[in-house]
Amino acid sequence: MSIFAEVPQAPPVAVFKLTADFREDTHAQKVNLGVGAYRTDDCLPWVLPVVKKVEKMIVEDNSLNHEYLPILGLPELRSAASKVALGDDSPAIKDGRVGAVQALGGTGALRIGAEFLRRWYNGTNNTATPVYVSAPTWENHNAVFSDAGFKDIRPYHYWDGAKKGLDVTGIMDDLENAPEHSIFVLHACAHNPTGTDPTPDEWKTIAEVMKRRKLFVFFDSAYQGFASGSLDKDAWAIRYFVSEGFELLCAQSFSKNFGLYNERVGNLTVVAQDKDNLARVLSQMEKIVRTTWSNPPSQGARIVAITLNNPDLFIEWKGNVKTMADRVLLMRDQLKAKLIALGTPGTWDHITQQIGMFSFTGLNPKQVQYMIKEKHVYLMASGRINMCGLTSKNIDYVAESIHETVSKVQ
Amino acid sequence: MRQTCNSDGGVGSTENVKARGITIFSIFVDTPTAAPNPETKLLADFKKDTHLSKVYLAGREYLNEEGQTSVSPLIGKIMQQICTDPTLCPEYPSSVGLPEFTRRATELVLGRDCHAIVENRVLGVQTVGCTGAVRLGAELLKHWYNVRGVWCGPVYLSSPCDDSLAGIFEAAGIQDVRRYRYWDTEQRGVCVQKMMEDLEMAPEQSVIVLSASAHCPTGSDLSQKHWRLLTQLMVRCRFFPFFLLPAQGLCHGDFEQDAWPVRLCASLGMELLCAQSFSHSFGLYGERVGHLLCVLKQSSTLLAVQSQAEKQVRALWSRPSVGGARVVATVLSNPAHHVEWQEGVKSMVERGILVRERLREKLRLLGCPGSWDHLIQQGGLYCCTGLNVQQVEFLEKRRHIYLHPNGCLNVSAINSRNLDYVAESIHLALTSVF
């Protein structure tokens, strides 16, 4: 008798199922707006020119070996990545109280951070510390913190469906009422899935409450540069919190802004009060890494490290990132303009107010079903679309489909 | 700067940082320094050592005669090809990794005609190195070994074993980790009888971690006869085997032979896990090319187990990195490349055997006490010399030769330039320290 005989099938991940259904669809005009990766106007994945250049440099460099990276990762990547998040002239970095752990993408960074916090934050092995994730949030946040051992994962108000924007009152209420020392997972920019971020003033208020109530700040930064086209602008919230004296963790992903989805390049930046605390924290994180993947992969890390540390390549990379961000902004403008021109019922300002890869269209589940079944336009049940799935060739069809859907289905 | 205060105070240690008259506690104030990784410390000491003849024999990588890690020209060429291939997509791979890689990795261990493969009851998952494979296997067992309740062990590890193993199972939430006797210092070999005794006492359904070949860190393996006895015991006691195969091909120079125990268990219809690595056999350490093999009894459970494996992976690292796996898949899928690669591995093994023989001969000529036959009986990267802790310390402090505290060393780090010095030093250690 198999010991696995009674293992149940795990529920499918919604976004993967959506892509699978899309693939099987034979309709000529089908559009996939569920995909979570950048696409060019020809609807193809894009290898950044700077990445191609650096890959070639690496392959031709005979002095580079294939040895294990240190457990904490490639030092040049860790420091450069933290600098990108906190700014070149960050006082915290100058004070020597910023460190980092190279990780397998943003997920790996979140997991190492979560494992550390479960073991050493708010007591020892305190699995009862509440962890707050936004409602809605990236669906993997829950799993990462839960598998790291946290037993109490709660939503905090975030999206206001009625006004199609941030539920500021809701956020503030949750912050005021959360038990002290609760952990809050904040999206640094380009909130996934709503594309709606707090304004600088709203961030300031959030920070003030979090400081007063002793709440822990864990940033998830997967889209730096990709959201507005400016690295500094997209890191404003992180830098503000650091300047306000917070100790915090920031999980960074270079999957989207380097297009290195399959090389899993991430970084967990740690901001501590001083060198001594930092050293102790990193020593514990090293122990956690040793029993998870032992040493992180080298290939993608080298590409990112070389790019970030070379002034010319850095500029070239920023240009590539802006190219992606600009295309997304263009699609946003055009989609809104077309919906308005069609006289589509409702307001569509949120399309251009939201930022980053995703947009919460406001379509309800019935309307989403209609879009998929009748129009072969695939989007998430939440009404989330990936702007990168829009191209100059399909945007008219998508706009018309939304128009038809909203007009026919309530 | 104002700072959040840890109102718990900080038991024991208090870090007072006064700024503007405010007492500030870091929220990390109670985080203790982790004990340093013994390997890291040893390497750091070696690096600081200024002695001209210093030798580091405690590394985890295969070194060539020049004392370097290297990849073969074939691998280098394939990496170039992959780099310039316009058809390759930078997209997210699936959580279980590249299908071509998992297929080839599975075939390499089990053999293409293995019944389990033909009957579609084998799951292969690409992982972040061997560590990732062990961790994923541990997580799967933790969650699913006993569907009715949380399974917490016991897991049995050999004594000695890779020093990170226990920690990996503990990190997965399996606290009950025990040892079975394996290496006998007097015999300088595997103490099969004691091993069997210890396992006879293990509770039914225990998970037994076994080295398929080239045991780390001793280099000593069971004979085929003993494997047959062991598998009989495992079937009788309903144990679950979890194999480690980090260096297939590097023990005997024969891929089938190195995987023989795994194939034996599969042929007996057993369920098993097997953690593989391609680091050593491809020289691709940094790329972290690992694989977890899961042989099931019934094909009906495959999809469910796969879905649960994907779920675990999504919360650990989401998906593996593809670079190294692509190289391995390219080699293993191309018959000509495959042969060339196997030849390369064979020559690594031949060099290892040569080093062992020359070391043994040198020790004999020096009149070194004891038998040194175990040097040539062991296989793979590692060798357990049988030196005790004091003798190992002597080697480090007085001769600047660095071994694992348990007396094990990396054979490939010995070469024609340091062989004599190493042999003389071992002789000195044995004759002046007891």
**Cα distance from A110 to chain B (closest Cα, Å)?**
9
User: What is the β-pairing status of strands B155-159 and B177-181?
Assistant: parallel
For A1, nearest residue in chain B (alpha carbons)? B297
Those residues with Cβ within 8 angstroms of residue A378's Cβ, 6 or more apart along the chain or in another chain: A18, A19, A21, A22, A25, A30, A31, A32, A33, A34, A371, A372
Interface touch A120/B28, C-beta < 8 Å: yes
User: What is the β-pairing status of strands A153-157 and A131-135?
Assistant: parallel
Neighbours of B257 (CB within 10 A): 16
Q: Which amino acid is at B32?
A: P
Are residues A150 and A174 in contact, defined by beta-carbon separation less than 8 angstroms?
no
Token duo for residue B247: 């260096």
Query: A 348-377 residues with CB below 8 A of B?
Result: none
Q: Which amino acid is at B409?
A: L
What whole-number distance in Å separates Cα of residue B209 and Cα of residue A141? 32
> Closest to A9 (Cβ–Cβ): which among B33, B167, B303?
B303
Q: Which amino acid is at A49?
A: P
User: What pLDDT, on a 0 to 100 scale, did the predictor assign at position A11?
Assistant: 92
Give the lowest-confidence range in A83-87, A162-166, B342-346, B423-427.
A162-166
Interface touch A66/B71, C-beta < 8 Å: yes
pTM: 0.95
Which residues on A lie below 8 Å from B412 (Cβ)? none
What whole-number distance in Å separates Cα of residue B287 and Cα of residue B326? 10
Q: Where are the alpha helices (DSSP H) in A100-191?
A: 105-120, 140-147, 168-177
User: What pLDDT, on a 0 to 100 scale, did the predictor assign at position B10?
Assistant: 34
Judge whether B227 is closer than 8 Å to chain A, CB to CB: no
Are residues B240 and B151 in contact, defined by beta-carbon separation less than 8 angstroms?
no
DSSP codes joined into one string, B389-424: HHHHHHHHHHH-EE--TTSEEEGGG--TTTHHHHHH
Average pLDDT over residues A225-246: 96
Judge whether A42 is closer than 8 Å to chain B, CB to CB: no
A410 alpha carbon, distance to own chain's centre? 32
Label residue A36 by pLDDT band (50, 70, 90): confident
Interface touch B285/A262, C-beta < 8 Å: no
B134 alpha carbon, distance to own chain's centre? 9
> Closest to A280 (Cβ–Cβ): which among B31, B130, B131?
B31
Are residues A116 and B30 in contact, defined by beta-carbon separation less than 8 angstroms?
no
B83 alpha carbon, distance to own chain's centre? 29
Token duo for residue A122: 């708010």
Substitution target from A139, A291, A386 for chain B, most B beta carbons within 10 A: A291
What whole-number distance in Å separates Cα of residue B133 and Cα of residue B125? 8
Judge whether B166 is closer than 8 Å to chain A, CB to CB: no
DSSP codes joined into one string, A308-329: HHSHHHHHHHHHHHHHHHHHHH
The pLDDT tens digits of the residues spanning A178-188 come to 999 999 999 99
Are residues B381 and B250 in contact, defined by beta-carbon separation less than 8 angstroms?
yes
Judge whether A144 is closer than 8 Å to chain B, CB to CB: yes
C-alpha torsion sign, points B114, B118, B123, B124: positive
Interface touch B37/A298, C-beta < 8 Å: no
> Which phi and psi angles does B44 have, rounded to 5°?
-65, -45
Judge whether B16 is closer than 8 Å to chain A, CB to CB: no
* Selection from A231, A246, A157, A160 nearest residue A190 by Cα: A231
Q: Is the pLDDT of residue A296 over 90?
A: yes
Which residues on B lie below 8 Å from A19 (Cβ)? none
User: What pLDDT, on a 0 to 100 scale, did the predictor assign at position B23?
Assistant: 57
Interface touch B167/A294, C-beta < 8 Å: no
Judge whether A113 is closer than 8 Å to chain B, CB to CB: no
Tally C-beta pairs within 8 A across A and B. 256
Query: A 240-259 residues with CB below 8 A of B?
Result: 244-247, 255, 259
> Closest to A272 (Cβ–Cβ): which among B28, B145, B167?
B28
User: In Å, what is the CA distance from A384 to each residue of A170, A380, B274?
Assistant: 21, 5, 40
Which residue ranges of chain B lie beneath pLDDT 50?
1-20
For A59, nearest residue in chain B (alpha carbons)? B80
Bond into B32 cis (ω within 30): no
Interface touch A147/B312, C-beta < 8 Å: yes
User: What pLDDT, on a 0 to 100 scale, did the predictor assign at position B383?
Assistant: 93
**Cα distance from B133 to chain A (closest Cα, Å)?**
8
For A147, nearest residue in chain B (alpha carbons)? B315
Which residues on B lie below 8 Å from A262 (Cβ)? 89-93, 319, 321-323
Q: Any idea which residues of A carry the catalytic annotation?
A: 138, 220, 256
> Closest to A261 (Cβ–Cβ): which among B92, B286, B317?
B92
What whole-number distance in Å separates Cα of residue A268 and Cα of residue A274? 17
User: What pLDDT, on a 0 to 100 scale, did the predictor assign at position B433?
Assistant: 85
**Cα distance from A213 to chain B (closest Cα, Å)?**
9
N-term to C-term CA, chain A: 52
For A116, nearest residue in chain B (alpha carbons)? B31
User: What pLDDT, on a 0 to 100 scale, did the predictor assign at position B11?
Assistant: 32
E strand or H helix at B73: helix B73-83
User: What pLDDT, on a 0 to 100 scale, did the predictor assign at position B4?
Assistant: 40
Query: A 154-183 residues with CB below 8 A of B?
Result: 180
> Which phi and psi angles does B169 have, rounded to 5°?
-65, -40
Q: Where are the alpha helices (DSSP H) in A236-310?
A: 236-243, 275-290, 299-309
**Cα distance from A8 to chain B (closest Cα, Å)?**
6
User: In Å, what is the CA distance from A406 to each residue of A10, A372, B4, B150?
Assistant: 34, 13, 49, 48
Q: Where are the beta strands (DSSP E) in B167-280?
A: 177-181, 183-184, 189-190, 207-211, 240-245, 272-277
A165 by DSSP, 3-state: which? strand
A135 by DSSP, 3-state: which? strand
Query: B 372-401 residues with CB below 8 A of A?
Result: none
Interface touch A247/B284, C-beta < 8 Å: no
**Cα distance from B428 to chain A (closest Cα, Å)?**
33
Which residues on A lie below 8 Å from B128 (Cβ)? 104, 292-294, 296-297
**Cα distance from B123 to chain A (closest Cα, Å)?**
12
Interface touch B297/A1, C-beta < 8 Å: yes
Interface touch A293/B129, C-beta < 8 Å: yes
The pLDDT tens digits of the residues spanning A307-357 come to 999 999 999 999 999 999 999 999 999 999 999 999 999 999 999 999 999
Are residues A353 and A382 in contact, defined by beta-carbon separation less than 8 angstroms?
no
User: What pLDDT, on a 0 to 100 scale, did the predictor assign at position B9?
Assistant: 37
Average pLDDT over residues A272-278: 96
Judge whether B421 is closer than 8 Å to chain A, CB to CB: no
Half-sphere exposure of B339 (CA within 13 A, CB side): 2
* Selection from B139, B124, B165 nearest residue B328 by Cα: B124
Measured CA angle at B152 (ends B151, B153), to 5 deg: 105
Token duo for residue B84: 């310039």
> Closest to B93 (Cβ–Cβ): which among A262, A277, A300?
A262
> Which phi and psi angles does B296 have, rounded to 5°?
-105, 160
Interface touch A4/B301, C-beta < 8 Å: yes
Average pLDDT over residues A289-299: 97
